[in-house]
Structure 1
Amino acid sequence: MPFGISILIYYNIPFMQPLSIPRERIYSVDVLRGLVMILMALDHTRDFFHSTAMTQDPLDVQTTHPMLYITRWITHFCAPVFVFLSGLSVQLMNGRKTSKEISSFLMKRGLWLILVEITLVSFALSFNPLMNVVVLQVIWAIGISFVCLALLVFLPWQVILGLGLLITASHNLLNYVEAKPGFEAGLWWQLMHQTRYTFFEYLPGHGFIVLYPFLPWLGIMLMGYGFGRFFQADVGTVQRKRILVATGITMMVVFVVVRWLNGYGDPRPWASQPHWAATLGDFMNVQKYPPSLMYACATLGPALLVLAWLEGKKSRFTDIAKIYGSVPFFYYILHFYLIHLLCLIMFFVSGYGVNDIANPQVPFLFRPPDFGYPLGTVYLVWIGVVALLYPLCKRYAAYKQTHRKWWLSYL
């Protein structure tokens, strides 16, 4: 019996969707989203400011050091939790909107997010007015997943949850197809499942790269949609926490056991290293592009435990995190522009000139491969970025709470 159905029976969750109206916003969900948004800024600050960000893999145990490895690995939580909570938030529309209204909204918002990815986000990354290279990242993945979910919301929520579990658990079977000699991943395959960093040219000198193939991310979003059912008004706090804890622990156990077997679940096998810490690092170095089953278990499992722990927790720190989590799209766009703007300033302060603005090895302007600072400086810049964005996010969050304009749903 699938695990998702088992927990429904064990915890006596009704199989039919009730017409209860959930709360407007859920504090614990916004806090968790805010925490991963804060961590996300650390990863992107490292990309633009760390001295080896463009020349070294921070998860390569042969060349990295512990603090750099940890700095990169903890940001693994950002994308899957963000996508999972996006699906969860859609589920909470039930009771306030009809399935038809939800479908229409998701279709429009999904297409809007794809447009934002190839315009606002791509320009924030590159600062290149010619827009020669567009990188399809997490906003694209969420957008296309919303479009798919728009077609699925008419199904019972437990069917959508089961489909999400199936995709997440089984999509790594495609790795065996991809590993066959002579296999070539074309455009549609890369859009769906494989990251090859292929430059697909649509005009002379203009093209795009698929960093986030959508199928595994769709699976995570569908799981989030299903788990949103446990945040409906008829599910008690104790019951919900038990479900989150049981699921989180199960995912972590699955990760340890399946990863230890070193067969299915991740195309990157681990190997024993001369030192135990390096072995652990190799064990934990799971594939994000696209997210493997092991990656999903290693990140979403602990995230569900944190989400359960946050139930009833309220402090100055969680209030701050909630601000960022209540305006994630607004924060996401602004943080990229702010980080790149700071990088531009430090580019000139560091003595680089106009001849160094563009480099064929890096798609970002004002970011040469040899530019950068020690990891400690990266952390200082990260803290500054998050602090500078707080008052703007707080004001916008307050505006959203007191206004019901249609366009706020898209920002």
Structure 2
Amino acid sequence: MKRISTIDTVRGLVMVIMALDHVRDLLHMPALTQNPTDLSTTTAPIFLTRLVTHLCAPTFVFLAGTSVYLSVQKDAALYATGDNDGRSLAERSRFLLKRGLVLVLLEVTLINFAFWTDIQFRSMMLQVIFVIGVGLVLLSWLIRFQVRSILIAGLLIVFLHDLLLLVPPFTNQSARLGWALLFRTDFFAVSPNFSLLVAYSIVPWFGIMLLGYGCGPLFAKPIAERKTQLIRLGVGSLALFLVFRFLNLYGDPVPWSAQKNGLFTVLSFLNINKYPPSLLYTAFTLGIMFLLLALFDGSRSGLARRLEVYGKVPLFYYLIHWYLVKGAMIGMVLLQGYSFSDMPLGPMSFGRPAAAGVTLPVVYAVWLALVIILYPLCAWYGRYKAEHPEVAWTRYV
């Protein structure tokens, strides 16, 4: 099965946007103390900067599921013809298992070190690479089932997991940790020297990955038919969001309400829950994703080709961009007159002095510079992977 360029293009777009959120987290002046979606303290530019980056994680996870489906189908087709590049079902399952475990390992080592730059690892945050890794481990078993069954499972999780918010918090710490890993974002101050933040819970995000896998057959259709179906899915998802959000009855734990003016009332309407991803958050973000897939499907414009460069090497981009963002933060702190000894290290501390930071326009400037720097690096690595298929480790990064 031929590689679908629109998947790489849209994945590249959301990865570029993702870097904006991480630059804002580490460099923006109020980011240490201000929740960008708290309507009592935020501003419209800060809220909208955060809102647009909501698109990233669901798209990333959904397309990870789609990519697994396409890879499985390609392997099956090659194996059926006796091609040496094909893999049996058992071999495909083992590869997914190993790749998932590699992602989990990278999350708790290189990625978390990039967040905190603390050699003692006194902080641990489980984010998107963690849930994708666990999702691949689970899919290594589920690929034996029919695609339709996997799609139905994904729909049931996405539509029904909000009901679990009715379950009261656990007092037993082991039960609370297990519940957080599976269903609900939670923070654990394990000791004075170690804290754990389960930012991404497995089951809600795995539901999105299952949707991506279940929609995989759509990409085997001719472009014209595929574009039509993608537009229908996008419009349908956004219509579901609008109807359910307007009714204010189900689909998000925080209802919208009238605010101090019309603009902030609209922001309240759009203020949907990511941790864990609510039904309305998922419908809103995936609706936009479907429309973007339709927009870029078959496009070979200059923008599409440049975004594709990022999207072909997503994990490489993700790893490198975190170290560049952290390097930018350290450079900012030093340029503002602080020394390394002024950078606080410890549980849940990025190492940025409380008074250090830059304005939102500077955040955008740093973000654009970072994205430009990443382009030749991603282009080089993409060529290296294509020219050296015999190098086994490139299949994991």
Question: Is the contact made by 2:116 and 2:348 (CA closer than 8 Å) also made in structure 1?
Answer: no
Corresponding position of 1:297: 283
Corresponding position of 1:95: 74
Q: 1:284 aligns with which of 245, 259, 270?
A: 270
Gaps of 5+ in 1: 1-21
Corresponding position of 1:35: 13
Q: 1:49 aligns with which of 27, 32, 49?
A: 27
Question: Is the contact made by 1:83 and 1:221 (CA closer than 8 Å) also made in structure 2?
Answer: yes
Corresponding position of 1:393: 378
Q: Identity of aligned pairs, percent? A: 42
Counterpart Cα distance in 2 of 1:71 and 1:246: 27
Tell me, what secondary structure is at the counterpart of 2:55? Answer: helix
Tell me, what secondary structure is at the counterpart of 2:240? Answer: helix
Corresponding position of 2:360: 375
Question: Is the contact made by 1:266 and 1:293 (CA closer than 8 Å) also made in structure 2?
Answer: yes
Counterpart Cα distance in 2 of 1:199 and 1:30: 39
Tell me, what secondary structure is at the counterpart of 2:372? Answer: helix
Counterpart Cα distance in 2 of 1:368 and 1:251: 42
- 1:325-344 CA-to-partner distances (Å, cap 9, x unmatched) read 00010000000001101211
- What aligned pairs does 1:310-349 form with structure 2 within 5 A after superposition? 310-349=296-335
Corresponding position of 2:148: 158
What one-letter code is carried by the residue in structure 1 that aligns with 2:116? S
What one-letter code is carried by the residue in structure 2 that aligns with 1:401? A
Question: Is the contact made by 1:84 and 1:221 (CA closer than 8 Å) also made in structure 2?
Answer: yes
Counterpart Cα distance in 2 of 1:182 and 1:282: 32
Residue 199 of structure 1 and its aligned partner are, at CA, apart by 3.0
Matched, 1:225 2:213: yes
Are residues 140 and 361 of structure 1, via their aligned partners in 2, closer, same or farther at CA, if it must alter by over 3 Å? closer
Counterpart Cα distance in 2 of 1:250 and 1:347: 46
Corresponding position of 2:137: 147
Tell me, what secondary structure is at the counterpart of 1:92? Answer: helix
Matched, 1:264 2:250: yes
What one-letter code is carried by the residue in structure 2 that aligns with 1:386? V
Matched, 1:79 2:57: yes
Counterpart Cα distance in 2 of 1:276 and 1:392: 44
Matched, 1:176 2:182: no
Corresponding position of 2:194: 206
Are residues 249 and 200 of structure 1, via their aligned partners in 2, closer, same or farther at CA, if it must alter by over 3 Å? farther
TM-score by length of 2: 0.93
Are residues 302 and 403 of structure 1, via their aligned partners in 2, closer, same or farther at CA, if it must alter by over 3 Å? same
Corresponding position of 1:3: none
Are residues 221 and 200 of structure 1, via their aligned partners in 2, closer, same or farther at CA, if it must alter by over 3 Å? farther
Corresponding position of 2:84: none
Corresponding position of 1:6: none
Equivalenced residue count is 383
Are residues 66 and 346 of structure 1, via their aligned partners in 2, closer, same or farther at CA, if it must alter by over 3 Å? same
TM-score by length of 1: 0.90
Question: Is the contact made by 2:313 and 2:382 (CA closer than 8 Å) also made in structure 1?
Answer: yes
Segment drifting more, 344-353 vs 391-400 = 344-353
Residue 183 of structure 1 and its aligned partner are, at CA, apart by 9.3
Counterpart Cα distance in 2 of 1:347 and 1:138: 27
Q: What RMSD, in angstroms, separates the aligned Cα atoms of the two structures?
A: 1.7
Residue 120 of structure 1 and its aligned partner are, at CA, apart by 0.2
Counterpart Cα distance in 1 of 2:168 and 2:305: 46
Counterpart Cα distance in 1 of 2:365 and 2:127: 26
Counterpart Cα distance in 2 of 1:229 and 1:369: 50
Counterpart Cα distance in 1 of 2:261 and 2:142: 48
Residue 62 of structure 1 and its aligned partner are, at CA, apart by 2.1
Gaps of 5+ in 2: 76-86
What one-letter code is carried by the residue in structure 2 that aligns with 1:58? P
Residue 106 of structure 1 and its aligned partner are, at CA, apart by 1.2
Corresponding position of 2:125: 135
- 1:172-204 CA-to-partner distances (Å, cap 9, x unmatched) read 01011137x979861100001111222345xx8
Residue 362 of structure 1 and its aligned partner are, at CA, apart by 4.8
Counterpart Cα distance in 2 of 1:335 and 1:70: 22
